Amino acid sequence: MRQYEVTFIVDPVLSSEEISSAAQNYIEHLKSEGSEIVHVDELGLRPLAYPIKKRTSGIYYCVEFQAPTGELINKLELALRRDERIVRFLTVALDKYGVKYNEDKRNGLIGKKRDKKDDAKHTEKPKAEKVIATAPLAATAVAAPTVEKPSVEEEE
């Protein structure tokens, strides 16, 4: 059993029923192929970073599933490719860390992790600012006595 993740973008011009039925269609498709749906994530309407098929936004869906063989991926991708309602799709095989990450994300643990990252960022930035802030002060304070010293070091 391997865990996969398929993300696809549905055309936003369709009615909401059509959109959900399109997504449901693929979920059923996966189930009928003998795979087990782990999680369906509706990321909702998002703006696209660049226009695709003259659309500037799309509805993102992310379906995580376990499949016994990789053969159904080809069938799924063929169906997605033929479907005009689907703007873009991407299938990814998840490694063990990816599986864990998605699990943690569902349980709300990743929020903390991300805070940690954010903290790291925030602590980094003030430090950098401090250095910048203190640099001119220190430079001005000790400018006179250190004038000679750096020049000597440069020469060396």
Q: Tell me which residues in 116-135 interact with other proteins (CB under 8 A).
A: 116-117, 120-121, 128, 131, 134-135
Of positions 6, 9, 73, 80, contacts other proteins by CB under 8 A: 9
Of positions 27, 38, 40, 62, contacts other proteins by CB under 8 A: 62
Whether 47 contacts 40, CB under 8 Å: no
User: Looking at 20-28, 30-38, 49-57, 74-82, which segment touches other proteins (CB under 8 A)?
Assistant: 49-57
Handedness of CA 25, 30, 33, 39 (dihedral sign): negative
Of positions 14, 27, 38, 52, contacts other proteins by CB under 8 A: 52
Of positions 75, 100, 106, 112, contacts other proteins by CB under 8 A: 100
CB of 57 to other proteins, least distance (A): 9
Of positions 13, 109, 133, 139, contacts other proteins by CB under 8 A: 139
Q: How far apart are alpha carbons 23 and 4 in whole angstroms?
A: 16
Q: What string of DSSP letters covers 31-77?
A: HHTT-EEEEEEEEEEEEEEEEETTEEEEEEEEEEEEESSTHHHHHHH
Query: For residue 6, which of 52, 32, 39, 33 has the smallest C-alpha distance?
Result: 39
43 residue type, one letter: L
User: Looking at 24-32, 67-75, 77-85, 96-104, which segment touches other proteins (CB under 8 A)?
Assistant: 96-104
